[in-house]
């Protein structure tokens, strides 16, 4: 019983330290920080009551990110920088469910898109990696350098996808990395209209198909000690 009381005290001490770091980084007029009895901390945007950040303390040294999304002036990268301040004495764990919302409400898997165009995910570039990270990088490098048409044929039994690419994006020659990147560049340079929405939907399909060949463990950890 005495050891249990000590553990609870240490956990509460850790929670208070995390809350204090968050209070230093979030304007209390714009954000509410809620500390719940189940060892979760939620940062809520006052204006729209949207959750920006949800954390859970597991044990005394592990913080699990339940949710992280940009809100107000807080970009995703800014929120991760705040997490780095927390991680000085803890390890941070998350499951990568990051995504981009493209015009037309199209939801694109951000991890897969970044890996297909840069070789690592968005979280990877901020030091959040899996136990198989180095192995995954080596495996994915071969995919990025593969001819786009050949790669797509391996995972796509539907010829209409290829004709759709030619119709909306033109003939794509080059590697997977080059062609997926070129298609996104084409989209970002155009106006928001029905054709752009069609391109966004097709890009989502392409990324989903090629992700079958991607090696990526979405359970990520960052250790700062």
pLDDT in tens, 195-204: 999 999 999 9
Give the separation between CA 94 and CA 212, rounded to whole angstroms.
22
Q: What is the pLDDT of residues 145-196, one digit of tens each?
A: 999 999 999 998 788 999 999 999 998 899 999 999 999 999 988 788 999 9
CB-count exposure of residue 49 (10 Å: 0-12, 13-18, 19+): exposed
User: Under a CB-based contact definition with an 8 Å cutoff, are residues 44 and 31 in contact?
Assistant: yes
The pTM (predicted TM-score) of the whole model is 0.86
Confidence of residue 94 (pLDDT cuts 50, 70, 90): very high
- Signed CA dihedral, 158, 164, 169, 173: sign only: positive
Regarding predicted confidence, which is higher, 73 or 130? 130
- What is the pLDDT, as a whole number, of residue 75? 87
Distances (CA, A) of 171 to 25, 83, 208: 48, 43, 20
């Amino acid at each position: 019983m005495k050891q249990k009381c000590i553990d609870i005290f240490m956990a509460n001490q850790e929670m208070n330290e995390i809350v204090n770091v968050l209070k230093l980084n979030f304007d209390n007029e714009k954000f509410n920080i809620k500390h719940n009895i189940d060892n979760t901390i939620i940062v809520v945007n006052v204006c729209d009551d949207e959750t920006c950040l949800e954390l859970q303390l597991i044990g005394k040294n592990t913080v699990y990110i339940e949710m992280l999304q940009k809100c107000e002036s807080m970009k995703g990268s800014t929120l991760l920088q705040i997490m780095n301040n927390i991680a000085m004495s803890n390890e941070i764990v998350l499951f990568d469910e990051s995504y981009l919302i493209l015009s037309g409400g199209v939801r694109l898997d951000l991890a897969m898109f970044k890996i297909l165009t840069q070789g690592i995910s968005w979280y990877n570039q901020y030091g959040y990696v899996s136990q198989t990270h180095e192995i995954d990088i080596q495996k994915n490098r071969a995919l990025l350098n593969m001819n786009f048409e050949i790669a797509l044929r391996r995972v796509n039994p539907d010829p209409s996808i290829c004709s759709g690419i030619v119709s909306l994006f033109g003939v794509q020659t080059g590697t997977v990395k080059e062609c997926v990147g070129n298609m996104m560049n084409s989209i970002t340079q155009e106006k928001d209209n029905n054709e752009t929405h069609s391109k966004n939907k097709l890009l989502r399909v392409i990324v989903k198909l090629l992700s079958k060949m991607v090696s990526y463990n979405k359970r990520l950890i960052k250790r700062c000690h």
